[in-house]
Chain A
């Protein structure tokens, strides 16, 4: 009987060990600490840098929504960092960087398109002018 009980206790111990092991695995798998505080600080500063670069490229004019999103996410990242929520802050900083990158790209594309359009107008105007001159002086 005693051996039976001992056997039972061994099994119980194994079960507990297994349960603990699975729990640890679960936490490690789904909620592991991915971002250190230093990493997040660097990311935030990168996001700020990219936002200012986007602004320099005319994002305020050509991609205001994307810029605003980048700034909002940056703000959220900073707030999360204050609350010592590094993971959340890191993700916010990352998404802020992507928004900033997109704002910058949009701004540059828009600007290039407008330049092309301006050039098109120049060419058209030139052609019209030449046609007009040639009609006057055949």
Chain B
């Protein structure tokens, strides 16, 4: 009985020994293992802290191999700290990587910005260049327009000058025409012509002819000279020469005499260079008296040659009497 008790005590001691040093469930150890397992599956930890994780695992193994519970608890604590440390190493590594990425991104942004800046500057320069070219074109256009306007003004001035010259020339012409008209009037006045509806009528009186003959007396020559000069100066005017007599004598005689007297005047004019086609002659005899044939004075007035100076461009036939 006594020996049995002694064996029992020995067995109990052995159990105590075994329990004391063998690995029974240890909270610190469990906690450390759990921490290690969590760290292993945390994103980025194994990749970024492989060495630290390996060391943590080693620490864990060492704790597992601990000779007694107290030692195991202690080593488990150390291992758990190693696990936590490994996590911080991974965190630092990841933060560093992120920072490097951001730095790279910053550089890229700066570079992009610079390129955009350059691009924008280039576009601005292009726009400015275009604007300058546009401006130059506008200036060129304006210059051309100004030149055209100047040319136009010069042309207008020339036209005005020429118009002025024309006007002056016309004025001179008009003056000349006026002088010519004046001259004509003077000449006509000198010829003592009378204005009638048939034209200017110049009368050569009976005294300028020999009695009952057609020959011109020397006194008539002055008038004929003047008439010839007038015709020369007014080449567009033609004349009609009409012979008239009084009622003494028969009609045939008178008709012939009147015609011959007119012919005499014509011949005198022709001899002074007047064109024959400008002169028409007609003898009317006693048919157109200008005074009464009952008195000698009247008959003398009726014996006459009338020279009708026609208006410019008028033909002799238009005023011809029956």
Q: Is A80 an interface residue (CB 8 A)?
A: no
Instruction: List the B side residues contacting A115 at CB < 8 Å.
Output: 95, 99
Stretch of B76-84, B229-237, B249-257 at the chain-chain interface: B76-84
Count of A-B contacts with CB under 8 A?
93
Interface residues of B in 50-91 (CB under 8 A from A): 67-68, 70-71, 74, 77-78, 81-82, 84-85, 88-89, 91
Instruction: Contacts A22-B17, A95-B77 given; indicate if A108 touches B88 (C-beta within 8 A).
Output: yes
Question: Are B20 and A105 in contact (CB-based, < 8 A)?
Answer: no
In whole Å, how far is A102's beta carbon from the nearest beta carbon of chain B?
A: 5
Interface residues of B in 67-122 (CB under 8 A from A): 67-68, 70-71, 74, 77-78, 81-82, 84-85, 88-89, 91-92, 95-96, 98-99, 102-103, 105-106, 109-110, 113, 116, 120
Q: How far is the CA of A99 from the CA of B99 in the complex (A)?
A: 27
Question: Are B95 and A116 in contact (CB-based, < 8 A)?
Answer: yes
Instruction: List the B side residues contacting A137 at CB < 8 Å.
Output: 120
Question: Are A99 and B103 in contact (CB-based, < 8 A)?
Answer: no
In whole Å, how far is B179's beta carbon from the nearest beta carbon of chain A?
A: 85
Interface residues of A in 101-119 (CB under 8 A from B): 101-102, 105-106, 108-109, 111-113, 115-116, 119
Q: How far is the CA of A130 from the CA of B10 in the complex (A)?
A: 85
Question: Are A29 and B109 in contact (CB-based, < 8 A)?
Answer: no
Question: Are B81 and A91 in contact (CB-based, < 8 A)?
Answer: no
Question: Are A113 and B91 in contact (CB-based, < 8 A)?
Answer: yes
Q: How far is the CA of A115 from the CA of B98 in the complex (A)?
A: 10
Question: Are A123 and B109 in contact (CB-based, < 8 A)?
Answer: yes
Q: Is B21 an interface residue (CB 8 A)?
A: yes
Question: Are A109 and B78 in contact (CB-based, < 8 A)?
Answer: no
Contact of B110 among A22, A34, A126 (CB under 8 A): A126
Question: Are A102 and B99 in contact (CB-based, < 8 A)?
Answer: no
Instruction: List the A side residues contacting B91 at CB < 8 Å.
Output: 109, 112-113
Q: Is B210 an interface residue (CB 8 A)?
A: no
Size bracket, chain B contacts: 35 or more
Contact of A29 among B20, B77, B78, B98 (CB under 8 A): B20
In whole Å, how far is A35's beta carbon from the nearest beta carbon of chain B?
A: 11
Instruction: Contacts A22-B14, A29-B17 given; indicate if A94 touches B78 (C-beta within 8 A).
Output: yes
Q: Is A98 an interface residue (CB 8 A)?
A: yes
Name which of B98, B102, B109 has the most chain A CB atoms within 10 A of its CB.
B102
Q: How far is the CA of A19 from the CA of B7 in the complex (A)?
A: 11
Contact of B96 among A29, A98, A112, A122 (CB under 8 A): A112
Instruction: List the B side residues contacting A130 at CB < 8 Å.
Output: 109, 113
Q: Is A49 an interface residue (CB 8 A)?
A: no
Q: How far is the CA of A122 from the CA of B68 in the complex (A)?
A: 55
Q: Is A30 an interface residue (CB 8 A)?
A: yes
Question: Are A101 and B21 in contact (CB-based, < 8 A)?
Answer: no
Contact of A112 among B16, B99, B105, B120 (CB under 8 A): B99
Between A and B, 16 residue pairs with Cβ closer than 8 Å are: A18-B10, A29-B17, A29-B21, A32-B67, A95-B74, A98-B77, A98-B85, A109-B95, A112-B95, A113-B91, A113-B95, A119-B106, A122-B102, A123-B106, A127-B109, A134-B116
Contacts A101-B81, A102-B88, A111-B92 known; 13 new A-B pairs at CB < 8 A = A22-B10, A22-B13, A22-B17, A29-B17, A95-B81, A105-B85, A108-B88, A109-B95, A112-B95, A112-B96, A115-B95, A116-B102, A123-B102
Question: A-contacting residues of B (Cβ < 8 Å)?
Answer: 6, 10, 13-14, 16-17, 20-21, 67-68, 70-71, 74, 77-78, 81-82, 84-85, 88-89, 91-92, 95-96, 98-99, 102-103, 105-106, 109-110, 113, 116, 120
